[in-house]
Structure 1
Amino acid sequence: MPAYAQDTAPAQQEDVAPVPDQTGPTEEGEAIVVTGSILRNADEGPSPVTTVTAEALDQRGVSTIQEGLQQLVSNNGPAITNSFTANGAFAAGASAVSLRGLTTNSTLVLFDGLRAAYYPLADDGTRNFVDLNTIPDDIVERVEVLRDGASSSYGADAIAGVVNIITRREFEGVLARAQAGISSRGDAAEYRLSLTTGVGDLDTNGMNGYISGFYYRSESLANNQRPYPYNTDDERGICFEDVCGPNNVVNGLNGDGEFDSGVLTVTPAIVRPVDPVTGAPTGARYQQLQANCGNLPSYTLTAAERAANPSTPTTVCQEDFTSLYGNIQPEIERFGGSARFTAAIGETSEAYAQVNFLQTTSSYFGATGVVRGNAPAAVRPRFSTSTAGQPFAPGSGPLRLPVYVCPERVNCATSPNRTLNPNNPFAAAGQAAELRARFPVRQFDETVNRAYRAAIGVRGDISDNFSYNVDATAMHTDLRRTFEGYVYIQHLLDVIADGTYNWRDPSANSQDVIDYVIPTNIQNSTSDLYQVQGVVSGTVAQLPGGPLQLGVGASIRYEGLDNPSANPDDNGPTQRYFEINSFGAVGNRTVRSVFAELNAPIIDSLDINLSGRYDSYSSGQDAFSPKIGARFEPFSWVALRGTYSQGFRIPSFGEANSFPTTGFVNASSGIYTDSYLAPYGCSRATFSTCPSYIRGSYGLTSLATPDLKPEKSRSFTLGLVVEPIRNVTLTVDYYNIRKTDAIVSADTSEAIAAYYAGQPIPAGFNVIADAPDPNNPTLRPRIAFVESGYINAARIDSEGLDLGVTTTFDITDNIRWTSAAQATYIINLSQTQNDQTLSFEGTLGNYNLTAGSGTPEWRGSWQNTFDFGDFALTGTANYFDGYNLSAEDQFGPGTSGQCGFDPGFVPCDVDSYITFDLVGNWRINDNYDLYLTMLNVLDEMPPVDPVTYGAARYNPVQGGLGILGRYFKVGVKANF
């Protein structure tokens, strides 16, 4: 099913990006294969297809194909952006689209119609996808986005749609590009260099070969490089109807200037005396081990504040996580090379061979402080359990500095080599010290992904009526992920027992001691794909409307994933790292497929298309996917089109072959009972006043389920294409997708409710309690983790409209105006499970899947280009709808629009977001083009959203590149 990269796209496709439904013949009327079909056809098919050309992306000022795909209006919900992965995302270093809001695993990404290897890390530890950063930008001719189910052509995962990356068939000459960009604030710089050169003309020489190489770099951007409120944890300046936000700076002051947070500092180390055997406090108030707060601000409590906070040190250190450690985007470096050779074989056939290599490095220091594991390593009672719920030491509980230390590290109280613990100020009095501290080492995360791909193929004519094509591809990815600054639990216990780590003066520790406590963790993962397929197609009869075409094909492919856990649970409770998630998956499978397609032009105005595919998996699953489509043109200026299809998604390696996977979600009032909250001094109605211990995140740990069934889907589309006058096209497409047997984590609400009500936990669940609240140590602890397996139990519905208008007019002999407006409206995105339907459109839901980035109902763009001959000016308006601060997966059915997450100091509806981009292209002469870009011309910052946890007080999907502010690019292209 390659959509032949060899065939030239229609000239009008290059006018704007994206152009909907321009997938018919070339200007010469040559028949081509479009995405979603195996037939060569000069007519448009029944499915809606958006075509994005490389030239059009240049017009829009887009630097990479990845960036352009993220701007698709049909991309919604739980997409993965490069900026989001700088905040501790599971699939760090990657980018992926989510068509129709159906998550990254329901959108299939192809290279020249062939599958690509999965990214070794899974979205949320479970969803396999293809990383958009592996696209070789400078050899891409166009991208076709099929906005329809396509399992009948491509098999698994093509439920919401297909993104087909189509590379150049041939290139002759030299094309060089240099580009640089920087924000108006002088930061977030980016650079791009590329060179492509080719020789030969297929038509005249019978051969063509080209090579291409590129380098791309994007500098990191920290939160403290952007204005308030994106640069701090202090929300006191965010106010709505006379209610202002809290100061979330650790040990920060209230709006009235008083201290009452009760949050204990962990920088520098603080201790209080406890009984060395029972651990019971023998002194209530903590004290600092170090003389001062170093570079952090300090505050000395008043007598009244000390009385109200009996365990807080007299002087506290204030730590603004977002300002100190927050990242908006990582540092990204990409480089690679491609080569292709194509040659004619006789008069009717040709063969090609292509290789690609890309390396992408994404790295960052710190994070927002909202996501666990990305600020300097902490040691405190809150983290007395590991990420997947294992206690880090026998008996769990807070860390203690013992009375005695010794080289043997065990039985120090009776060791002849014992000495009083130099870090314990209470040792001489025979008391242990309960410890809370933070290591003075910032955590560093880096992913280096190397992708190797090769493809070969041959195509030609069997006879006057039949043609064939055979293609093979192999792709291998190597991913190295480096974690620095993460504490290894056993080594921490070792240096506590032998006294070799200096808690009083961390700067006095040797590098050897620091490296022992915080050793570098390197995780190596791989992913592989091998595929061979063949297609025979041609005309079998003549019908009144034209040739009856039939295509048949077969395919075999191998998929393999080896992603070992970077922090496996089965090493034991102490042979692990703090805060590195344990997720991972290892598996492989072979897939055998046969498929066919029939296109019948019944009459001149009516085409019927039938297709089907059968897939058989070595893991025991199989599926048949049929599809029927029709296109009816009663008049030359109007066409009706529609499709009905069935599809499937195979269980991912992360669902069927994974290690335990934990995702963290922020606690909401809905998970508690008033009787449980009462001893903590708050209620569900006053949840924002609850202690931060209660409002913190908890882990949902999912366990692999090997016997899962495939998810099944049925979808249909119905569209109208109208050209009321020449060069004006209007399109309206309705889509309706339903997934059944959807794979979800078991509903944990009953288990959570049972725990907080003090009742037995239901079968199939395991609830792990957190360490007690240090300020309320006798109260029942909150939940730290809930463990459960995956199940085929849900139904997911996605329904909406795609709207498009394109126009092209010659205003004068020298001025041409091209305009394209596109919008997607989500009517319904919902999930039904246990006879309860949760609706997410227009809200932050599905909160667990989208990291709180939500499901806005509308997304749109409007692009206008004025071409003056040697100069063209393009303006693009980008619209991202607002949404309500609610999510029914957190607050239950019927709570949509009720502002369940509303903290009170912002409106419960986040504003919509509009940005405007301007690009000028100047053709200096036949060989040189200069282009100037101004993104976000009005310097509009994203709307304030204090709830989305993928970024600091804004939505990283809605905000997109807008958080960079006004941004300038300049570039030059040389073509010889």
Structure 2
Amino acid sequence: MFTRNIARTLRAGTALSALTLATSLLAVPAFAQDTAPTTDQTAPETPAADEAPEIVVTGSLFATKVTQSPVTTVTAESLDARGISTVQDGLQRLAANNGPTLTNSFSANGAFAGGASAISLRGLSTNSTLVLFDGLRAAYYPLADDATRNFVDLNTIPDDIIDRIEVLKDGASSSYGADAIAGVVNIITKRSFTGLSARAEAGVSQDGIAATQRFSVTAGIGDLDRDGFNAYVSGFYYHADSVATRDLRSPFNSDDQTSIGGPNNQVNGDNFAANYTGFGSNLYVAPGSGGRYQLLAGGCANGNLTQTTAAQQGGNALLPTSICQQDLTNRYGVVAPQVDRFGISAHVAKTIGDSAEAYLELNFQQSRSQYSGAASSIYANAPAGIDHEPFSTVGGGASFAPGSGALTLPVYVCAARVNCTAANGTLNPNNPFAASGQTATLIGAMPNLVRHDESRSRVYRAAAGIKGSFGDDWNYKVDATAMRSELRRSATGYVYIQHLLDVIADGSYNFVDPSSNSQAVQDYLAPAHSTDASSELYQVQASVNKALFQLPGGPAQLGVGGSFFYEGVDSPSANSDANGPTERYFTINAFGTKGHRTVTSGFGELSLPVLKQLELNLSGRYDHYSTGPGYFSPKVGAKFTPVDMLTVRGTWSRGFRIPSFGEANSLPTTGYVNNTPKLFSDAYLAQYGCTSTNFNTTACASYLRNGSYGQTTLASPDLKPEKSRSITLGAVFQPMRNVSFSVDYFNIKKTDAITSLSSADALRAYYSGQAIPDGFTIITDAPDPAHPGATPRVAFVQSHYVNANKQKAEGIDFGANGRFNLGGVTWTTNLDATLMLELSTTLADGTRETYVDTLGNYNLTAGTGTFRWKGSWMNSFAIGNYTVTGTANYTSGYDLSAMDQGNAYKDCGLAPSPAYTGCRVKSYFTFDLNATAKIADKFTIYANVLNLFDRLPDYDPVTYGAYLYNPVQAGDGIYGRRFTVGAKVNF
């Protein structure tokens, strides 16, 4: 079992008949769970839905069985039943979690927030889902998703002390303030624990990859209800092996796609002229006066020496005749980083008198993520802020034009590194043309330097609180928390630009035979680098509530409260250009931000059961930010129960998202986009021998077709909050005990959505020779040496964040729960699914982009798309001490297009070649099987097989968060069939 449908805490219904709804749900795999929250460690038999105890549900100040908003609950028992090892992994599988989610695998694929994980309810991105710990805010991860979106890292969840996680799938700014636009994830820790519990677990795929180990122990004393005291301590360790692309099966492990009808995209492969990118991880030189490139060394440091044909060269006079054929994806690609996590938590709770209970909780957790990537670059642009004019040492030294990607090797080298001549220096040993008095142009990547990245996150958290009652039935609750997240990013193997120019100018680095260089020289060229970042949050929150008077349906209740919190981020750039454009590294992300603010809030809630069949709920909250803005968030809810088996519910609310520190305070942030023919006017293309029809052939200058431009977005301190309007309408039908069906419609609209301006208009104006539109700055690239008189291409387009767009998310959540006793067998079946009807953006000019069933919103999702359907269906069968659980997981396919990339809706516009890729990526279905045996009173063993039928995802040539597949659609399914075994003891 994985999730608990809201039928446990929200008795509701549907206007549909049970048969009709059941049929629709069975057609779409989903998941849900019908287990009431409990502090019992032994997973007791599930009570009937109408026997659920009153609990405090996320999003309400009152203890109740029912709220007006849909809630899904993940429990430790439900994760165990499905064979899921971590809460992070479980939340990623939620049906309501869609495309812009951030998975751990993105850490190894260039994510801005490498080393972290976050979910995106309703596909509205990670910054529109609020994550709480026991109802209190948590510190942000110090890095921002895509350098703009603040979020809480799911890897900081202390898995083994979690009682349950309630996911409120509704706007909740009226209760929690900013960022709760798409919903709330409330991580609720165990109130108490008595005894000793330990677990050991190990897993690996059938191909021997993706191995994991998990160990944990929890010990507690005292019975809180009987003794008035409980204390427990819990520790855990978790390890996951790194996975390289070469470990996967074909076609996901190679640049050679011929097995699926595609091209051989190995560097210098069959279509070499169209696909070369700096000739891979070897070094090539050409005469400075112009001419064909050749290997700098006689042979290949990486790859196989191959002679290119005239057809492969495509008539390009610069391409070499002898090359090193390489499969860069197979050699350097990374699927997932190595992850090591450990932590310890302590919790003390004590009753005070007859009416109060206090607690103190302390948590520490460390997470380390690391991987080795591609060969070190000596030619790539250094992102964000670099000077894009060619720069050089003064007189006779090395030079480099960032846009052209080419270094110049001088004729002479000398210790002074400038003004080197025959009188004070020697002929350059790295320049094979020096004897003839010519400079050389150097391109490629370092054969013996590989980039390595590591993120180490440490989280410290303390929380304390007291709750109870006083006077005439007044209830109160006071909580405080302090949380700090510290992140150290370390990197080796990255070339420092000025040091590269130094060793070229003085000849101290042997480029002909890089392996002969001493470690000291290697370290000078690529010095180790680390950057420390941190974030903090301190909060105090208090509330009181009371039953006011009696209404026909029950007592009217009023709750009021207040909150004060401080939040701050200090994340300096890991690659600042403050000392000049050469005093920095190639390719290390330059994003950085720093800021802090305090927030004062007041909130209230009124529950009015006006009739036995009808209850109204009104809530609201006002938040004032020290940075200026204030916002009031109201919410109205109602539930109507015409008959015992049917309840209809609905909510209307307004919310907001405060501009993130990245949007308001960051350094410039740059993303790179490949040039396409639609960027250029016909007249501009003609300067380079290009037309729109020959753009992707060697008849068109590689300066254009192999180029890219940077979209640099600048922070805007004066941004307004994003505003939202949310509507939910739902029902749950419970025709008999332990059987329920639910359906909930959601409709969310954002206005003043924060966005970067589209570069298209500025690019079209530049390439047509027209005035650049207001709000943009164009930075041009270095000229093409082959066409020095032509207008240079664009290197960077700069613009600020603005409040300009509108966004809409609309869809339907389905759920079904059943529990049946069939002789000696207990069958539990839970389904949960989400159907996305719309996810769209309306731009400032009125243009509407819609993304469902495509790869959009491409700019938010790493090209992972918006799935129309997502869900799971779990069935569990228990016989005595034995339980077998099967879970079907389904994610729908999508069209290879994205309207935010200039495509028409579902026009196959991003497919590289529909002839072999097709226009759609197919849906993905997997089945998991888990078996548990209680072989002694205190001892349980279990085993599971994830992806039992060993299904691999469909081929996706466009998504850039992984190679040839969609990592959000596939998840761990890319590893094929995977086995886990473990044991638990409880005393």
TM-score, reference length from structure 1: 0.93
Counterpart residue number, 2:5? none
Q: Which amino acid in 1 is paired with 2:965? A: Y
Structure 2 residue 49 is the aligned partner of structure 1 residue 32: no
Q: Is the 8 A contact 2:31 2:873 kept in 1?
A: no
Q: Superposed, which structure 2 residues align to 1:533-548 within 5 Å?
A: 533-548=541-556
**Among 804, 810, 813, the residue aligned to 1:802:** 813
Structure 2 residue 730 is the aligned partner of structure 1 residue 723: no
Structure 2 residue 825 is the aligned partner of structure 1 residue 815: yes
SS at match of 1:217: strand
SS at match of 1:623: strand
**Among 516, 519, 541, the residue aligned to 2:524:** 516
Q: Of the two structures, which has the highest relative contact order with CA contacts closer than 8 Å and spacing of 6 or more?
A: 2
Residue 235 (structure 1) shift: 2.0
Structure 2 residue 608 is the aligned partner of structure 1 residue 600: yes
Residue 182 (structure 1) shift: 0.3
Q: Which amino acid in 1 is paired with 2:237? A: Y
Q: Is the 8 A contact 2:286 2:440 kept in 1?
A: yes
Q: What is the CA–CA distance in structure 2 between the aligned matches of 1:912 and 1:613, rounded to whole Å?
A: 42
Q: Is the 8 A contact 1:384 1:771 kept in 2?
A: no
Unaligned runs of 5+ in 2: 1-7, 12-29, 38-46, 393-399
Q: What is the CA–CA distance in structure 2 between the aligned matches of 1:261 and 1:99, rounded to whole Å?
A: 38
Structure 2 residue 958 is the aligned partner of structure 1 residue 947: yes
In structure 2, relative to structure 1, the CA distance for the partners of 1:556 and 1:500 (3 Å cut) is same
In structure 2, relative to structure 1, the CA distance for the partners of 1:264 and 1:33 (3 Å cut) is closer
Structure 2 residue 247 is the aligned partner of structure 1 residue 250: no
Q: Which amino acid in 2 is paired with 1:710? A: P
In structure 2, relative to structure 1, the CA distance for the partners of 1:441 and 1:713 (3 Å cut) is same
In structure 2, relative to structure 1, the CA distance for the partners of 1:335 and 1:284 (3 Å cut) is same
Shifted more, 318-327 versus 388-397: the winner is 388-397
Structure 2 residue 426 is the aligned partner of structure 1 residue 419: yes
Structure 2 residue 279 is the aligned partner of structure 1 residue 265: yes
Shifted more, 603-612 versus 883-892: the winner is 883-892
Q: Is the 8 A contact 1:22 1:50 kept in 2?
A: no
Counterpart residue number, 1:356? 363
Deviations 1:649-695 (A, max 9, x none): 00000000101111234444543445545666665566655777625
Shifted more, 125-134 versus 514-523: the winner is 514-523
Counterpart residue number, 1:158? 180
Residue 783 (structure 1) shift: 3.1
Counterpart residue number, 2:872? 861
SS at match of 2:193: coil
Deviations 1:213-241 (A, max 9, x none): 000000011110111111011222222xx
In structure 2, relative to structure 1, the CA distance for the partners of 1:954 and 1:295 (3 Å cut) is same
Residue 780 (structure 1) shift: 4.5
Q: Is the 8 A contact 2:480 2:541 kept in 1?
A: yes
In structure 2, relative to structure 1, the CA distance for the partners of 1:792 and 1:11 (3 Å cut) is closer
SS at match of 2:764: helix
Counterpart residue number, 1:709? 720
Residue 725 (structure 1) shift: 2.7
Q: What is the CA–CA distance in structure 2 between the aligned matches of 1:253 and 1:29, rounded to whole Å?
A: 66
Q: What is the CA–CA distance in structure 2 between the aligned matches of 1:94 and 1:858, rounded to whole Å?
A: 26
Q: Is the 8 A contact 1:18 1:53 kept in 2?
A: no
Q: Superposed, which structure 2 residues align to 1:924-963 within 5 Å?
A: 924-963=935-974
In structure 2, relative to structure 1, the CA distance for the partners of 1:565 and 1:670 (3 Å cut) is same
Residue 246 (structure 1) shift: 2.2
Counterpart residue number, 1:19? 33
Q: What is the CA–CA distance in structure 2 between the aligned matches of 1:900 and 1:420, rounded to whole Å?
A: 50
Instruction: State the identity %.
Output: 54
In structure 2, relative to structure 1, the CA distance for the partners of 1:262 and 1:74 (3 Å cut) is closer
Q: Is the 8 A contact 1:627 1:646 kept in 2?
A: yes
Q: What is the CA–CA distance in structure 2 between the aligned matches of 1:680 and 1:725, rounded to whole Å?
A: 74
Deviations 1:377-425 (A, max 9, x none): 2223xx35655442362483531111111111111137x5311111111
In structure 2, relative to structure 1, the CA distance for the partners of 1:684 and 1:66 (3 Å cut) is farther
Q: What is the CA–CA distance in structure 2 between the aligned matches of 1:922 and 1:599, rounded to whole Å?
A: 46
SS at match of 1:44: coil
Q: Superposed, which structure 2 residues align to 1:647-666 within 5 Å?
A: 647-666=655-674
Q: What is the CA–CA distance in structure 1 between the aligned matches of 2:276 and 2:818, rounded to whole Å?
A: 62
Q: What is the CA–CA distance in structure 2 between the aligned matches of 1:580 and 1:260, rounded to whole Å?
A: 27
Q: What is the CA–CA distance in structure 2 between the aligned matches of 1:534 and 1:36, rounded to whole Å?
A: 15
Unaligned runs of 5+ in 1: 1-8, 240-244, 275-280, 367-374
Q: Which amino acid in 2 is paired with 1:291? A: G
Q: What is the CA–CA distance in structure 2 between the aligned matches of 1:471 and 1:400, rounded to whole Å?
A: 63
Residue 696 (structure 1) shift: 5.4
Q: What is the CA–CA distance in structure 2 between the aligned matches of 1:929 and 1:959, rounded to whole Å?
A: 31
Q: Is the 8 A contact 1:847 1:889 kept in 2?
A: yes
SS at match of 2:450: coil
Residue 819 (structure 1) shift: 0.9
Counterpart residue number, 1:242? none
Structure 2 residue 160 is the aligned partner of structure 1 residue 138: yes
Shifted more, 307-316 versus 821-830: the winner is 307-316
Q: What is the CA–CA distance in structure 1 between the aligned matches of 2:231 and 2:968, rounded to whole Å?
A: 40
Q: Which amino acid in 1 is paired with 2:926? A: T
Structure 2 residue 415 is the aligned partner of structure 1 residue 407: yes
In structure 2, relative to structure 1, the CA distance for the partners of 1:650 and 1:185 (3 Å cut) is same
Q: What is the CA–CA distance in structure 1 between the aligned matches of 2:428 and 2:928, rounded to whole Å?
A: 63
Residue 888 (structure 1) shift: 0.6
Structure 2 residue 303 is the aligned partner of structure 1 residue 289: no
Counterpart residue number, 1:643? 651
Structure 2 residue 567 is the aligned partner of structure 1 residue 559: yes
Q: Which amino acid in 2 is paired with 1:725? A: M
Q: Which amino acid in 1 is paired with 2:293? A: Y
Counterpart residue number, 1:371? none
Aligned residues: 936
Q: Is the 8 A contact 1:260 1:308 kept in 2?
A: no
Counterpart residue number, 2:353? 346
Counterpart residue number, 2:18? none
In structure 2, relative to structure 1, the CA distance for the partners of 1:620 and 1:306 (3 Å cut) is closer
**Among 557, 568, 584, the residue aligned to 1:576:** 584
Q: Which amino acid in 2 is paired with 1:177? A: R
Residue 468 (structure 1) shift: 0.5
Shifted more, 433-442 versus 354-363: the winner is 433-442
Provide the aligned C-alpha RMSD in A: 2.2
Q: Is the 8 A contact 1:17 1:57 kept in 2?
A: no
In structure 2, relative to structure 1, the CA distance for the partners of 1:304 and 1:94 (3 Å cut) is closer
Q: Is the 8 A contact 1:333 1:360 kept in 2?
A: yes
Shifted more, 203-212 versus 757-766: the winner is 757-766
Q: What is the CA–CA distance in structure 2 between the aligned matches of 1:925 and 1:668, rounded to whole Å?
A: 66
Q: Is the 8 A contact 2:676 2:705 kept in 1?
A: no
SS at match of 1:308: coil
Structure 2 residue 879 is the aligned partner of structure 1 residue 877: no
Residue 123 (structure 1) shift: 0.2
Residue 960 (structure 1) shift: 0.7
Q: Is the 8 A contact 1:171 1:208 kept in 2?
A: yes
Q: Which amino acid in 1 is paired with 2:429? A: P
Q: What is the CA–CA distance in structure 1 between the aligned matches of 2:787 and 2:83, rounded to whole Å?
A: 56
**Among 328, 331, 351, the residue aligned to 1:324:** 331
Q: Is the 8 A contact 1:266 1:378 kept in 2?
A: no
Q: Which amino acid in 2 is paired with 1:630? A: A
Deviations 1:710-757 (A, max 9, x none): 000010100011112332211110000001001000121101212232
Counterpart residue number, 2:145? 123
In structure 2, relative to structure 1, the CA distance for the partners of 1:639 and 1:469 (3 Å cut) is same
Q: Which amino acid in 1 is paired with 2:86? A: T
TM-score, reference length from structure 2: 0.92
Deviations 1:427-456 (A, max 9, x none): 121111111131221100100000000000
Q: What is the CA–CA distance in structure 1 between the aligned matches of 2:948 and 2:786, rounded to whole Å?
A: 50
Residue 811 (structure 1) shift: 1.4
Q: What is the CA–CA distance in structure 1 between the aligned matches of 2:852 and 2:313, rounded to whole Å?
A: 47
Q: What is the CA–CA distance in structure 1 between the aligned matches of 2:614 and 2:693, rounded to whole Å?
A: 61
Q: What is the CA–CA distance in structure 2 between the aligned matches of 1:20 and 1:716, rounded to whole Å?
A: 25
In structure 2, relative to structure 1, the CA distance for the partners of 1:209 and 1:403 (3 Å cut) is same
Q: Is the 8 A contact 2:49 2:738 kept in 1?
A: no
In structure 2, relative to structure 1, the CA distance for the partners of 1:800 and 1:470 (3 Å cut) is same
Residue 902 (structure 1) shift: 4.6
Counterpart residue number, 1:188? 210
Counterpart residue number, 1:790? 801
Structure 2 residue 979 is the aligned partner of structure 1 residue 968: yes
